[in-house]
Amino acid sequence: MLVAQAVRLVWAAARRELILTLALQVVSSLALAIEVLVARRLFSAFLQIGHGGSAGGVAFPLVAMTAALAFGSFTSTAINELQRILGELVTKHASGEVLDVAVAADLLAFETPSFHDRLQRAQMHGSTRPLQMVTGLVSVARGLLSAAGVGAALLFIQPLFLLLVVAAYVPVWFAATRASRVSYKRYVEMTEKDRRRLYLQGVLTRKEEAKEIRTFDLGGFFRSRWDDLYDWRIDQLRHLMRTRIKLGIAGSAIMSFLTAAAVAFLVWLVSSHRISIAGAGAAAAALMLLGGQLQSVAGGAAQLFDSSLFIGDFNSFVASMPRMVAHSHGGGGTPPERFRTLRAEEVYFTYPSNNAPSLRGATMEIHEGEVVALVGENGSGKTTLAKVLAGLYRPGGGKVLWDGTDTAGFDPHLWREKVAVLFQDYVRYLLSAKENIGAGRWQRFSDQAGIEEAATRAGVSELFSTMPAGYDSLLGPEFLGGVDISGGQWQRVALARAFFRDAPFIILDEPTASLDPRSEAELFSNIRTLFQGRTTLFISHRFSSVRSADRIYVLSGGRVVEGGSHEELMSLGGLYAELFTLQAEAYLGGGRPIVTRD
Ligand code: ADP
């Protein structure tokens, strides 16, 4: 069943190469069968020479044998080369499917460890197992076909002998499949820790972490953790190896015993004159050949079985795609071009890895063309609410209403089309400046004027126009010719990306965290002009920036506890007034000092 899945995968990925390989294999097995039969002729010719006959009788079988050998060797070289391409084609196909699932998966899937475990297995094994599977498959096909050829020849010589030789390899086969199952189980158990080890490996080698690793001198510390995790892995593998060796020994012992029995049987056949000397010679040669082929069948089968268990993993991961997409899909409804009011009503949301809800009945609304701010202390739920409004998470309870229509019925892709989000942890793409900005709406990627305009509005056009390669400059120093830019400049590039996305609804999550105070003040004082005609929701901790918003919502513990203009909230004297005053005092030096000195 699993093997059938494996074959289906190879078939889907590289039909032509598979057929060609198998065809060559059939030809190669025929050559082998001819070798055995010609061997018998050759032996009789030798025996005749021994009894005073002419040497001329050897000529034909010798030429035939040479031709068969040459042909057999050519086909196996061709098969080996073809196998490489076949492996690569299957790897590409399998990895592509894993990528498709990862891209289509709901954002929430990335919050669950089991998704990462499965993704890791599908990805890691998706890149190595297909090759193993192809090798296994080809070995089994080669072994079986060749064994069939040799077996057919043996059938002529002595059928019972054939039966004995084949029976000898059954235990080897059982041992191999059992070993595969044991390995698979162990590998699955190892996934979580393997992921941790790979994570640490990333931390120790990535640019993002490099400076902190050095200032905190964390290299040795993480390295020893990595060592521990690797030692653990090796221990597990040793344990596994012992089990596999025991199984292997058991299988081989029975095989050797039965092979010896086959040889004894052959001796008996010769001594009781049931078989000619030439026949016995050919049978002995066939025993060697068949043994080799059956060994290759057993080895190939083990490889195939090993990989097919992982292919099962891969298939179930790929098969989970509709479920993951269905989860994120609401109905197939299309949201209207723009909204007049977008309203979150009593929205609840809980992250899969968190027992407590992050939103507990949050209610707020935003009208077309408004600039609305979300404020609140860390962890109060601002980012989560923004993601729900952006159509990235579906509310666990409550509703998001688009002009009164429940967005649960919308296709989230179409909803997200209308939204541009500048995340707090925006992505720094190691691509050209043009691509970094154009990614905001890749369909308009060739719109150079639009890209330059977005850069101008975000305040980075001067930076790029002074670079020798202009907008084609590669950003980030990791690739050859790349230039690094400052944190603030990266943030402006991300802002330009949001500008370039001609979406009616813009969400800015702390868009000025890396900007200097002057730039920040400029951005907020121009926010209406910059996003003219669009609706803007922004999150900020700087109350001086927030005060100019049309409306401000204050979050606390996953609920919206206050809402109104700056003046209204100040006169309310609630949480907003408290936080605002605290920050103003700190700026004016009237607040309590953070560090006291004698
Ligand atoms: P804010 O933006 O106001 O700082 P968030 O919306 O990021 O707050 O977080 C709200 C709550 O949700 C916090 O208690 C936080 O711990 C939790 N939370 C945020 N992101 C995740 C996540 N990916 N998985 C689990 N819990 C999360």
Distance CA 388, CA 558 (A): 13
Residue 208: CATH number of its domain = 1.20.1560.10
Phi, then psi, of 347 in degrees rounded to 5: -80, 130
Q: Which has more pLDDT, 561 or 154? A: 561
- Residue 548's pLDDT is 87
Beta 505-509 vs 535-539: how paired, if at all?
parallel
Phi, then psi, of 340 in degrees rounded to 5: -90, -35
Answer whether residue 591 shows pLDDT above 50.
no
Please, how many CA atoms are within 13 Å of residue 238, restricted to the half-sphere of its CB?
A: 6
> What one-character-per-residue DSSP string does 54-75 give?
-GGGGHHHHHHHHHHHHHHHHH
* Banded pLDDT at 150 (limits 50, 70, 90): confident
Could you report the per-residue pLDDT of 3-59, keeping only the tens digit for each? 677 778 888 888 999 899 888 888 888 887 788 788 888 888 888 887 777 777 788
| pTM of structure | 0.77
Are 519 and 495 in a shared domain?
A: no
Number of folded domains that form the chain: 3
How many angstroms does the Cα of residue 351 sit away from the middle of ligand 1?
8
How many angstroms does the Cα of residue 357 sit away from the middle of ligand 1?
9
Q: Which of 448, 472, 502 is the last residue of a domain?
A: 502
DSSP run (H or E) holding 92: helix 59-104
Pair of tokens at residue 376: 């609140």
Which ranges of 459-506 does DSSP label H, i.e. alpha helix? 461-465, 487-500
Chain position carrying tokens 């609140």: 376
Which structural domain, as residue segments, surrounds residue 401? 330-418+505-598
Mutate to test the pocket of ligand 1, among 111, 347, 348, 383 (most ligand atoms within 8 A of CB): 383
Distance CA 563, CA 552 (A): 5
Are 11 and 110 in a shared domain?
A: yes
Q: Which of 470, 485, 502 is the last residue of a domain?
A: 502
Could you report the per-residue pLDDT of 451-491, keeping only the tens digit for each? 999 999 999 999 999 999 999 999 988 888 888 898 889 99
Could you report the per-residue pLDDT of 47-78, keeping only the tens digit for each? 888 777 777 778 888 888 888 888 888 888 88
Averaged pLDDT for residues 221-230: 95
Q: Do 468 and 430 contact (CB within 8 A), yes or no? A: no
Could you report the per-residue pLDDT of 262-289, keeping only the tens digit for each? 888 888 888 888 888 877 887 888 877 7
Pocket of ligand 1 from Cβ distances under 6 Å = 111, 351, 353-354, 358, 376, 378-384
> Ligand 1 atom closest to Cα of 384?
6
- Residue 147's pLDDT is 82
Answer whether residue 182 shows pLDDT above 70.
yes
Are 312 and 409 in a shared domain?
A: no
Are 280 and 146 in a shared domain?
A: yes
Are 281 and 397 in a shared domain?
A: no
Q: Do 261 and 253 contact (CB within 8 A), yes or no? A: no
Q: Which of 487, 502, 517 is the last residue of a domain?
A: 502
Q: Tell me, rounded to whole angstroms, the distance of Cα 499 from its chain centroid.
A: 31
Atom 17 of ligand 1, residue of closest alpha carbon = 358
Residue 486: CATH number of its domain = 3.40.50.300
pLDDT more than 70, % of the chain: 95
> Ligand 1 atom closest to Cα of 509?
2
Query: To the nearest whole number, what is the mean pLDDT of the chain?
Result: 86
Could you report the per-residue pLDDT of 484-541, keeping only the tens digit for each? 898 889 999 999 999 999 899 999 998 887 778 888 888 887 888 888 889 999 999 8
Mutate to test the pocket of ligand 1, among 351, 393, 554 (most ligand atoms within 8 A of CB): 351
Q: Do 344 and 385 contact (CB within 8 A), yes or no? A: yes
Are 23 and 121 in a shared domain?
A: yes
- Residue 595's pLDDT is 42
Are 489 and 443 in a shared domain?
A: yes
Are 585 and 475 in a shared domain?
A: no
Are 476 and 563 in a shared domain?
A: no
Please, how many CA atoms are within 13 Å of residue 189, restricted to the half-sphere of its CB?
A: 11
Beta 397-402 vs 559-564: how paired, if at all?
unpaired
How many angstroms does the Cα of residue 107 sit away from the middle of ligand 1?
14
Separation in Å, CA 301 to CA 3, 30, 161, 174, 504: 9, 22, 24, 10, 58
* C-beta atoms surrounding 246 within 10 Å: 12
> Ligand 1 atom closest to Cα of 111?
23
How many angstroms does the Cα of residue 384 sit away from the middle of ligand 1?
6
pLDDT more than 90, % of the chain: 35
Are 130 and 266 in a shared domain?
A: yes
Distance CA 575, CA 313 (A): 51
